[in-house]
Amino acid sequence: MNWALKRRLFYLAILVAVVLIFGFLIVYKNLNKTPTCFDNKQNGEETGVDCGGSCMLACTKQVDKVTILWARAFQVVPGRFNAVAYLQNQNENTIVQKINYKFRFYDKDNIYIGKREGQTYIPPSGKFAVFAPAIDVGNSIPIYTYFEFTEDPIWVKVSPERVSVLKILVSDIKLENESVSPILSATLTNASLYRIPEISVVAILYDALGNAVSTSHTYLDVLKAEEKTQINFTWREPLKEKVVATEIIPMFNIDSAKLK
């Protein structure tokens, strides 16, 4: 073997060694990539694909479905209705940031007369209400109301400490002028040190049998830390049934609250 051939083989061996080293580094890096919650794989502490364990998302199979307790439409004035779906989230520390829904309305003969679609937030641990205002169904009267979510929920975990701290208290509930122009008032108190924005508040009135007889809604842009405020709900017409109980449900996105 002459000197020139030896030199070419030496350079070739160096080139092969460099290629092998780089190839090994690339393969090793890919095989030993640190698991993340966004790699479309079940790895690390995850109990599903990019969910459970230390991931922000909760696995759908490990979360209870939201229970639809009832849905109804209530007349505001002739031809105009408010609709409410009353639901329960039994999951203590999981929420849904945003989910699409649909109300469907049918008359006494079970003939379809209209729908209302929208988006809502699902709070943790408890009962809540989805309110759809000012529904116009022409000359028809909605007797049967159906509610459904039109997409799969994306469940997000929140800390138990945040859930326990972020509560809006309701007090001083008073219903007046039932037979003329009803007014329901109450006081909302933010007992936390968090500033809570975009609060939707639904009021439901019940008769002696526990049936919902009417509903209303109001909205607060923000409730500051340790702040109290009075809210009012009004009705244009007298209530037809005797009201013996009231329920006021404040709803807000727990993740949107910020320390003052």
Pairwise CA distance, residues 188 & 218, whole Å: 12
Pairwise CA distance, residues 214 & 234, whole Å: 11
pLDDT category, 236, cuts 50, 70, 90? confident
In this predicted structure, the answer to whether residue 121 has a pLDDT above a threshold of 60 is: yes
% of the chain at pLDDT higher than 70: 86
- Average pLDDT value for residue range 64-69: 96
Q: What is the largest CA-CA distance in the chain?
A: 114
- Average pLDDT value for residue range 39-60: 83
In this predicted structure, the answer to whether residue 19 has a pLDDT above a threshold of 60 is: no
Give the least confident one: 32-41, 65-74, 220-229, 243-252: 32-41
Predicted TM-score of the model (pTM): 0.82
**Which whole-number Å values give the CA distances from 164 to 66, 148, 158, in the listed order?**
20, 29, 11
187-196 pLDDT, tens digit per residue, is 999 999 999 9
| Whole-number pLDDT of residue 40 | 79
162-195 pLDDT, tens digit per residue, is 999 999 999 999 999 988 899 999 999 999 999 9
DSSP helix/strand/coil, 229: strand
In this predicted structure, the answer to whether residue 29 has a pLDDT above a threshold of 70 is: no
Question: Which fold, 43-158?
Answer: Immunoglobulin-like (2.60.40)
In this predicted structure, the answer to whether residue 110 has a pLDDT above a threshold of 90 is: yes
User: What stretch of H or E contains 13?
Assistant: helix 3-31
In this predicted structure, the answer to whether residue 128 has a pLDDT above a threshold of 60 is: yes
- Average pLDDT value for residue range 82-91: 97
| Whole-number pLDDT of residue 39 | 74
- Average pLDDT value for residue range 148-156: 96
| Whole-number pLDDT of residue 26 | 56
* Edge-to-edge strands, sheet with 168-176: 168-176, 183-190, 228-234
67: Cβ contacts below 8 Å, ≥ 6 apart: 87, 88, 90
The domain spans of the chain are: 43-158, 166-260
DSSP helix/strand/coil, 9: helix
Tokens representing 100 are: 């699409």
**Which is higher by pLDDT, 90 or 37?**
90
Q: Is residue 220 within 8 Å of 201, Cβ to Cβ?
A: yes
Q: Which burial class, exposed, middle or buried, applies to 217 when counting CB atoms under 10 A from its CB (0-12, 13-18, 19+)?
A: middle
Nearest to 214 by CA among 238, 231, 230, 232: 238
Residue 160 exposure: Cα atoms within 13 Å on the Cβ side: 2
- Average pLDDT value for residue range 235-259: 92
Q: Which CATH architecture has domain 166-260?
A: Sandwich (2.60)
